[in-house]
Amino acid sequence: MTLTREAIVEHLKNIVGKERVITDEQVLKENSHDRYKKFETIFGVYTTPIPAAVVKLADTNQVSDVLKFLNENKINSVAKTGGTATEGGLETIVENSVVLDGSQMNQIIKIDETNMLATAQCGVNLGELEDRLREQGFTTGHSPQSKPLAHMGGLVATRSIGQFSTLYGAIEDMVIGLEAVFPNGEITRIKNVPRRSCGPDIRHVIIGNEGALCYITEVTVKIYKYFPENNEFLAWALDDMTTGFKILREVMVEGYRPSVARLYDAEDGTQHSFDQFAEDKCVLMFMAEGNEHLARATAQGIAQIVEKYDECRKIDSRLIENWFNHLNWGPEKIAEERELIRKNLHIGFTTEVSGNWDCINTIYENAIKRIREEYPHIEDLTMLGGHSSHSYQTGTNLYFVYDYDVKDCKPEEEINKYHIALNALIVEETLKAGGSMVHHHGIGKYRTPWTKQEHGSAYYILKGLKDQFDPNGIMNTGTIYPVE
Amino acid sequence: MKIAVCFKIIADYDRLSGKDWEWDECRFVDMSFVRRVFNCFDESALETVLKLSRQLENVSDTVELTALTVDDEQGDLFLKHLMAVGYDHAVRICCNNRLDLRFNPLVISHLISRYIKQEGQKLVVLGMQGGEGDNGQTGFLVAEQLGWPCIREVIDVVRAESPDCLKVFSRIDGAILKQTIKLPMVLIMGHSLNSPYLRVPTLRQKLNAKKKQLTIVSNIELGLDNDALLNKDKTLMDLYGQKPGKSCVFLEGKTAQEQAQRLYDQYLKERLS
Amino acid sequence: MKAALVLSFDTTSLQQQVHEINLMLNNISTGFSSVELWLFYKDRKPEFFPEISCPLSDIKLIKVDNAHSPESYLQLLVHLMGQYPIDLLMFSSDGSGEELATRLAYRLNGSSCLKVEDCSLTSAKLEIIKPVYGNNLTARFVLESSPYCLSVAKQPCSPVKMTQMEFLKMETITLDQTQPWWVKETLTILDPPKTGLSDADLVLVVGQGAKNKETVDILKGIANTIGAQFGASRPVVMNAWADMNRLIGASGLIISPKLCIAAGVSGTGVFSVGIKSSGFIVAINIDSKARIFQIADVGIVGDVQAVLSELEKVILVEKDKKDSSHGFIEDRTQ
Ligand SMILES: Cc1cc2nc3c(=O)[nH]c(=O)nc-3n(C[C@H](O)[C@H](O)[C@H](O)COP(=O)(O)OP(=O)(O)OC[C@H]3O[C@@H](n4cnc5c(N)ncnc54)[C@H](O)[C@@H]3O)c2cc1C
Ligand SMILES: Cc1cc2nc3c(=O)[nH]c(=O)nc-3n(C[C@H](O)[C@H](O)[C@H](O)COP(=O)(O)OP(=O)(O)OC[C@H]3O[C@@H](n4cnc5c(N)ncnc54)[C@H](O)[C@@H]3O)c2cc1C
């Protein structure tokens, strides 16, 4: 028998204590969505069912007890830590869902300088962890734009990536060990070892699960020595993206590992004021980082490659450095964005995909072309562009960026009229060309129509995980896996 | 009606850190590495006039908007942007680059008023302060040179019943003043809650603006030779930086509660009693 | 060198304006051969006068017909300068002072400068100091032509007293003034009463780090319980999270409470000038590198709302303790 909303709240209070169960109407509304529905919610419209409660979890045992209860009663849960999700991962689409808020599990457990490990609870803010590490001369190397806001649990759960990924890798390259709780209450710990050959790497069941398989309670990442004094910025203006991709590839294939390697098209560059020094041009930039010798060699090697291309014109690196230093998003930027949206009915979204070197340019060109030609409300667009910000030996990502004036529609219609339609065109073009439809934000709840196509025959494995670990389907329903 | 809005592009000071405030032997601060932005009061002025022009177009004859800046080529990008959001003319008055106009609102206002006299605008709108010199005088001086009335600290301006008048809201000591004023006039924008930000042009508007021509006018064409641009009003003798910062004591504490308690015990208790 | 102080009797901040002018006079008045007060009034002739820190040679009371029209003041001033030439005129720090200083200097071919923090006479030249580059730097200028028309910089609140000055030479001047024909209709909407922010002992100033209107409202409540006045940075007022009369900084109020808590502000030059001379500054910011910490005595790296909510609790507990030991409840509401 399904429990009533009131009964769910009562049970939860008995498990974790009543001060940890929040039922304030406004808090619940805010917890029914994430940045995917930022437009309608700014105007006070909440179209997603409001959760029954938000539970502020104190420790792993509480996570276990609460999950067991929810599982037994088939109540949907939505895991949450920093709350910066962008793809609907936090939307409580099932009536009477319970939001499992881990933001108060915020202890940095250990910084182990010998083994170069840092262990933190899921609710530790990455910015705080970084500050602590940097005081001691270390860094995680993880630096997503949302660093001031996002927490370790969410960062692992989404397979996030930072701005220095080309050198340090993405979160999956950093996580050494984990603790996670499964819906039946089972607490599992994966130990911290440098490498092993003991069956499949089970960390990958947990990393990137978006709260759809288990709840991450603790994370251990590796740490690096931090040498910011050696950072060197390099930047060039160039005519088109094709050359830019070519250079990025060459840099990667030659074995250089700059921490930053980015390529902006002219449109996207404009919103970063790049047009002030590279009007109508693409901008290619790198940061060489690490110990003195490595940083210098990297910078020199890259410069040598780029300078072979006549089309490239060097840009004052201080411009890029100053820009880069203000790239992160803290709460004040979110506030600024909210007010701009409210006052000007103007909003921006992104869709991030990836592809091998041989198809990335095709994805870029086809997606932009298709939007320009087929998107019915192209007149409302104020910006349509993209950049690549994470490169690999084998390919790179593409971040499509689009802004628009919201015209002639109700707040709740905005997402369908604009973002969903634009996102679909990009995803289709990406899959058609052989790329991947999500590079680092997670599938969330809105790219699920393509999950099967993305994985093809391997969907069998993905599906198996859900059947095995969440047979009752109480873990963030509708996320990663389409609602059948 | 012909309207001109004068604006200035400034380096985004919010993006400079304490150590960036250094100057060369000519007392120029190098800001070539920070992005430039519309001075915030000018941005309000530009948006306010766009809104006003919509109202006027509904009733009166054609409205012709001019955006005007005294700047070097770096201003062009912003002028194009203004063409895209709806300004009909984008004008840059250029002077010899070596001249220091930072602390010379008198000359800036000369250039502006000469242009206005030549083109016959009936309304000139400017922001109230900002820029390197923080002079805060340009608008007043433009009014003096044109011999027009001038309203300062304007917060909004809207259409009036009579086509040769405008309703102007401005802040004065202890009140908001709402006046119906006969054109011509100079308005100096203060903090405008109605129009804090300039609108964003659509792709189509940007594309169309690319085809339009900017107007570049030199001081010579306006009848002011380089000698007339010298600062005969005041001479800059020296610049000074901020006094060295205090040595801030950071309060440690694992939780906000610990921090707050420590703050209270160590510093606030005695001061709050 | 002859000097005159030009002020309006009817402005609400006359006593504060005189304080600001007094600060300037302290350094320079010995260089003056005479100092006059030129005081505009509207309806009733002034009987009390603000205390000016140097001896006055003369007071001229000037009747102005249309108090809202700068042109009226300017005509009067031009006329007076023709009759009684003065070398240096000091104007108030408000918009009116700035406008009159600028336009009068223009009409009389003199030099003018606004927001003057200091001035001195060196070998018969007038040197002034004023902020430039968004209050990040200060510049020293020599002004080239007299009459020099200066408007002084805003200073923290410290209004002077009003007194009677019967023994002084006093002249009343009434002149015909042309009506501003371009003004067809005027209406004034009075501001809400003054907040008490400018001279409060304890002020909480909040910046954009407060994130949204809801949090700002909570923070206003906290300010109220801890007995603090509430101030805000420009984005906060521009977002309409707080009233315009709460704005702190170069284009708002300059305050110097005994204790100032600056929370969620980044501390740019134009903001910091507004609180810099506070007795003690506590800064709260999540970014340990924020510039606000450079002018703070004590810093907390943390979330505005979290820290302030906890502080409110601590203060309430302490107040309770005190109240119960005193046996009465103190009324701290304002
Ligand atoms: C301004 C901005 C910039 C961004 N920049 C980047 C970037 O540079 N790189 C990048 O990768 N992403 C970026 N993102 C996306 C977002 O910050 C990341 O996805 C981040 O990892 C989310 O972390 P969080 O703590 O906020 O998680 P939440 O938003 O709380 O949750 C994210 C997802 O993870 C699940 N989840 C949360 N906690 C747990 C847990 N303990 N166990 C299991 N599942 C959990 C949630 O159910 C949800 O599906 C950005 C977002 C914003 C708003
Ligand atoms: C001519 C001119 C005049 C101006 N006059 C004024 C003026 O008089 N007064 C004025 O204020 N501004 C003025 N400005 C604007 C000024 O340049 C700055 O933009 C403004 O002061 C910034 O306000 P802020 O510090 O609130 O916001 P931001 O610069 O956005 O800073 C927000 C701060 O909050 C911190 N933060 C974010 N989240 C949290 C959190 N959860 N907890 C704690 N901290 C957090 C961030 O780290 C950041 O440091 C003027 C500008 C110009 C051009």
Q: Please give the helix or strand (H or E) that residue A112 lies within, else none.
A: strand A108-112
- Do A14 and A41 lie in one domain? The reply is yes
- Do B260 and B134 lie in one domain? The reply is no
Q: Which range of residues forms the domain containing residue B114? A: 2-229
**Position A1 confidence tier, pLDDT thresholds 50, 70, 90:** low
Is A288 inside any structural domain? Answer: yes
In the listed set A78, A103, A128, which residue is the last one of a domain according to the structure? Answer: A103
The ipTM (two decimal places) reads 0.95
Contact B155, C247 (CB under 8 A): no
- Do A76 and A157 lie in one domain? The reply is no
Is A29 inside any structural domain? Answer: yes
- Do B82 and B207 lie in one domain? The reply is yes
Which of C115, C133, C268, C311 gets mutated to test ligand 2 (max ligand atoms within 8 A of its CB)?
C268
Could B248 and C297 be called an inter-chain contact, meaning their C-beta atoms sit closer than 8 Å?
yes
- Do A309 and A281 lie in one domain? The reply is yes
By the 10 Å C-beta count (0-12 exposed, 13-18 middle, 19+ buried), C47 is classed as exposed
- Do B12 and B50 lie in one domain? The reply is yes
- Do B83 and B177 lie in one domain? The reply is yes
- Do A349 and A284 lie in one domain? The reply is no
- Do B43 and B109 lie in one domain? The reply is yes
What is the Cα–Cα distance from B241 to B19, expressed in whole angstroms? 10
Is A433 inside any structural domain? Answer: yes
- Do B225 and B252 lie in one domain? The reply is no
What is the Cα–Cα distance from C36 to A33, expressed in whole angstroms? 67
- Do C208 and C285 lie in one domain? The reply is yes
Contact A47, A412 (CB under 8 A): yes
- Do C8 and C147 lie in one domain? The reply is yes
Q: Which range of residues forms the domain containing residue A292? A: 228-324
Contact A190, A217 (CB under 8 A): no
Looking at the 3D structure of chain C, how many domains does it have? 2
- Do B52 and B85 lie in one domain? The reply is yes
Strands B123-127 and B185-189: parallel
Is B239 inside any structural domain? Answer: no
Residues B204-248 pLDDT 10s? 999 999 999 999 999 999 999 999 999 989 999 999 998 877 889
**B179 pLDDT above the threshold of 50:** yes
- Do B191 and B270 lie in one domain? The reply is no
Query: Which of C181, C186, C295 lies at the smallest CB-CB distance from B179?
Result: C186
**Mean pLDDT along residues A135-154:** 95
- Do B195 and B253 lie in one domain? The reply is no
Bridge partners for A220 per DSSP: A119, A177
Ligand 2 binding pocket includes C131 (Cβ within 6 Å): no
Is C197 inside any structural domain? Answer: no
Looking at the 3D structure of chain B, how many domains does it have? 2
Task: Tell me what the pLDDT averaged over chain A comes to.
Answer: 96
> CATH number, domain at A82?
3.30.43.10
What is the Cα–Cα distance from A243 to A284, expressed in whole angstroms? 10
Is C188 inside any structural domain? Answer: no
Query: Which of A330, A334, A338 lies at the smallest CB-CB distance from C286?
Result: A330
By the 10 Å C-beta count (0-12 exposed, 13-18 middle, 19+ buried), A1 is classed as exposed
| A contacts of C286 (beta carbons < 8 Å) | 127, 148, 330-331
> CATH number, domain at A286?
3.30.70.3450
What is the Cα–Cα distance from C213 to C201, expressed in whole angstroms? 25
Ligand 1 binding pocket includes A122 (Cβ within 6 Å): yes
Is C179 inside any structural domain? Answer: no
Is A287 inside any structural domain? Answer: yes
Q: Which chains have 3 or more CB–CB distances shorter than 8 Å to chain A?
A: B, C
Is A477 inside any structural domain? Answer: no
Is A71 inside any structural domain? Answer: yes
Query: Which of B132, B140, B180 lies at the smallest CB-CB distance from C102?
Result: B140
- Do C246 and C160 lie in one domain? The reply is no
| A contacts of C234 (beta carbons < 8 Å) | none
How far is residue A107 from each of residues A27, A123, A143, A217, A252, measured CA to CA in Å?
24, 8, 20, 11, 37
- Do C137 and C230 lie in one domain? The reply is no
Q: Which range of residues forms the domain containing residue C294? A: 202-329
A8-17, A58-67, A386-395, B19-28: lowest mean pLDDT where? B19-28
- Do A183 and A198 lie in one domain? The reply is yes
Ligand 2 binding pocket includes C233 (Cβ within 6 Å): yes
Q: Please give the helix or strand (H or E) that residue B204 lies within, else none.
A: helix B203-211
> CATH number, domain at C299?
3.40.50.1220
Ligand 1 binding pocket includes A83 (Cβ within 6 Å): yes
Residues C175-189 pLDDT 10s? 888 889 999 989 999
Task: Tell me what the pLDDT averaged over chain B comes to.
Answer: 93
Could A332 and C288 be called an inter-chain contact, meaning their C-beta atoms sit closer than 8 Å?
no
Ligand 1 binding pocket includes A476 (Cβ within 6 Å): yes
Is A476 inside any structural domain? Answer: no
Is A192 inside any structural domain? Answer: yes
Supply the pLDDT for residue C188: 92
End-to-end CA distance of chain C, in Å? 48
Residues C107-152 pLDDT 10s? 999 999 999 999 998 777 899 999 999 999 999 999 999 999 999 9
* CA atoms within 13 Å, Cβ hemisphere of A375: 26
Is B158 inside any structural domain? Answer: yes
- Do B267 and B150 lie in one domain? The reply is no
User: What is the percent of chain C with per-residue pLDDT over 90, rounded to a whole number?
Assistant: 78
- Do B19 and B76 lie in one domain? The reply is yes
Supply the pLDDT for residue A100: 98
Interface check A346 vs B, CB under 8 A: yes
Interface check A129 vs B, CB under 8 A: no
Is C103 inside any structural domain? Answer: yes
* CA atoms within 13 Å, Cβ hemisphere of B83: 21
Task: Tell me what the pLDDT averaged over chain C comes to.
Answer: 92
pTM: 0.92
| A contacts of B197 (beta carbons < 8 Å) | 340, 343-344
Is B236 inside any structural domain? Answer: no
Supply the pLDDT for residue B216: 97
SS3 B10: strand
| A contacts of B35 (beta carbons < 8 Å) | 272-273, 276, 322-323
**Position C325 confidence tier, pLDDT thresholds 50, 70, 90:** low
Is B157 inside any structural domain? Answer: yes
Looking at the 3D structure of chain A, how many domains does it have? 4
What is the Cα–Cα distance from B254 to A356, expressed in whole angstroms? 45
What is the Cα–Cα distance from B29 to B21, expressed in whole angstroms? 7
- Do C130 and C229 lie in one domain? The reply is no
**A13 pLDDT above the threshold of 60:** yes
> CATH number, domain at B203?
3.40.50.620
**C333 pLDDT above the threshold of 70:** no
Bridge partners for C139 per DSSP: B239, C130
- Do A168 and A275 lie in one domain? The reply is no
